[in-house]
């Protein structure tokens, strides 16, 4: 009996040592009737409000896709603007159900914060923007420059590592609020703005009074795979978010768009049939109905549509697909099979 007590005590001790899981997010979202989605405080192309207060962007489309899959309506999203310091705390505490805030996936974030990434919806890298008047054409010419960046991001460490490796001396101007960093750069408080290259493109177009007076240097000094995060310990919710994104990339690969999705319901292609819920049980496997992916494509579009609309050549940012193209076009987007 004493051995049994010891065994039971050991099991209890092990259980106590495990991190608490926030299970049941899928049910929470269904009960609430809306998806609470954490995004940036305003980042053109990824998540920003228009003149009427309507939020759009690549990350907002990620929120909308999940809402369409779970709640049947891409519009059932409650946008929660978060700065870099707030984002993980808001997700950990349950203030938001999903964090889709152009956040880089790193080992430490996936293992030490109680959160985990569900997908990579944009492959990026840290770069530099300078006023054209400085006449600088390479980051290697930045010796002695003052560099604006936001605290609480990976930009600080990346900049320090790169400068050390290339023997470049610089003076950091580190500011907490993103918009204040932008304002400091626009007011010439620093020579350089460093952040993800997509962010620089967004800032240049949306925040600078005369975008033509600024150039983005060619160097990319880091890998910044950006994507949505969920809380650890809730695999059912992780599946929903992860496969919502896979449905968008899979639809692009299969040529299914928001414009032709209704016609594609009659497609003889078995992969299209499974994607759209004509056959198979992909929805049931996740606690959803079988039209979950159909609604994503119909209401939000496939990944290519979302990319071009928000950040691609059809948008003010005019970012080329590059690494974010499908694998069949030389990119890194490799849709996983739905069956």
pLDDT (0 to 100) of residue 3: 44
Torsion of CA 43, 44, 48, 50, to 10 degrees: 150
SS3 sequence, 196-264? EHHHHHHHHHHCCCCHHHEEECCCCCCCEEEEEEEECCCHHHHHHHHHHHHHHHHHHHHCCCCCCHHHH
Instruction: Please give the Cα distance from 253 to 331 (Å, whole number).
Output: 12
> Residue 177's pLDDT is what?
83
Per the structure block, which two tokens stand in for 64? Answer: 């909308």
CA angle 296–300–305, rounded 5-degree value: 115
- Given this model, what pLDDT does residue 22 score? 42
* Distance between CA atoms of residues 255 and 47, nearest Å: 26
Of residues 28, 223, 8, 229, the one with CA closest to residue 110: 229
What domains does the chain contain, in order, with CATH numbers? 25-123+225-329 (3.40.190.10), 126-222 (3.40.190.10)
Q: Specify the pTM.
A: 0.86
Give 167-184 pLDDT, tens digit per residue.
Answer: 999 999 999 888 899 999
The tokens of 224 are what? 């910044």
Q: What is the pLDDT of residues 145-172, one digit of tens each?
A: 999 999 878 899 999 999 999 999 999 9
Which structure tokens are listed for 331?
């990119």
Asked whether 85 and 78 are in contact (CB, 8 A), the reply is no
> How far is the first Cα of the chain from the last one, in angstroms, to the nearest whole number?
49
Q: Residue 176 has what pLDDT?
A: 86
Report the pLDDT value the prediction gives residue 252, as an integer from 0 to 100.
98
Q: Which regions in the chain score pLDDT beneath 70?
A: 1-23
d(CA 303, CA 248): 5
């Amino acid at each position: 009996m004493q051995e049994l007590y010891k065994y039971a005590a050991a099991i209890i001790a092990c259980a106590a040592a495990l991190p608490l899981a926030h299970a049941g997010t899928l049910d929470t979202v269904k009960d609430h009737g809306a998806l609470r989605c954490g995004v940036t405080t305003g980042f053109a192309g990824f998540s920003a409000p228009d003149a009427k207060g309507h939020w759009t962007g690549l990350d907002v489309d990620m929120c909308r896709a999940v809402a369409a899959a779970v709640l049947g309506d891409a519009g059932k999203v409650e946008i929660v603007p978060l700065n870099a310091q707030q984002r993980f705390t808001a997700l950990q505490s349950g203030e938001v159900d999903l964090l889709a805030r152009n956040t880089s996936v790193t080992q430490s974030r996936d293992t030490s914060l109680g959160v985990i990434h569900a997908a990579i919806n944009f492959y990026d890298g840290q770069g530099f923007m300078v006023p054209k008047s400085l006449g600088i054409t390479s980051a290697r010419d930045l010796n002695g420059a003052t560099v604006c960046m936001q605290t609480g991001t990976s930009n600080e460490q990346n900049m320090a590592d790169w400068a050390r490796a290339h023997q470049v001396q610089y003076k950091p101007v580190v500011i907490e609020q993103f918009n204040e960093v932008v304002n400091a750069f626009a007011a010439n408080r620093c020579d350089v703005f460093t952040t993800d290259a997509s962010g620089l493109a967004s800032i240049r177009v949306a925040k600078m009074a005369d975008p033509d007076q600024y150039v983005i240097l060619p160097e990319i000094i880091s890998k910044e795979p950006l994507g949505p995060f969920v809380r650890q310990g809730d695999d059912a919710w992780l599946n929903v978010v992860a496969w919502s994104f896979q449905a968008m990339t899979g639809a692009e690969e299969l040529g299914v768009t928001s414009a032709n999705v209704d016609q594609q319901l009659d497609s003889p292609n078995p992969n299209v049939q499974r994607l759209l819920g004509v056959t198979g049980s992909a929805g049931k496997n996740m606690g959803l109905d079988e039209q979950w992916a159909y609604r994503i494509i119909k209401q939000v579009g496939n990944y290519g549509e979302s990319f071009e609309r928000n950040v691609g050549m059809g948008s003010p940012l005019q970012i080329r697909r590059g690494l974010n193209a499908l694998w069949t076009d030389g990119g890194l987007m490799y849709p996983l099979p739905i069956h």
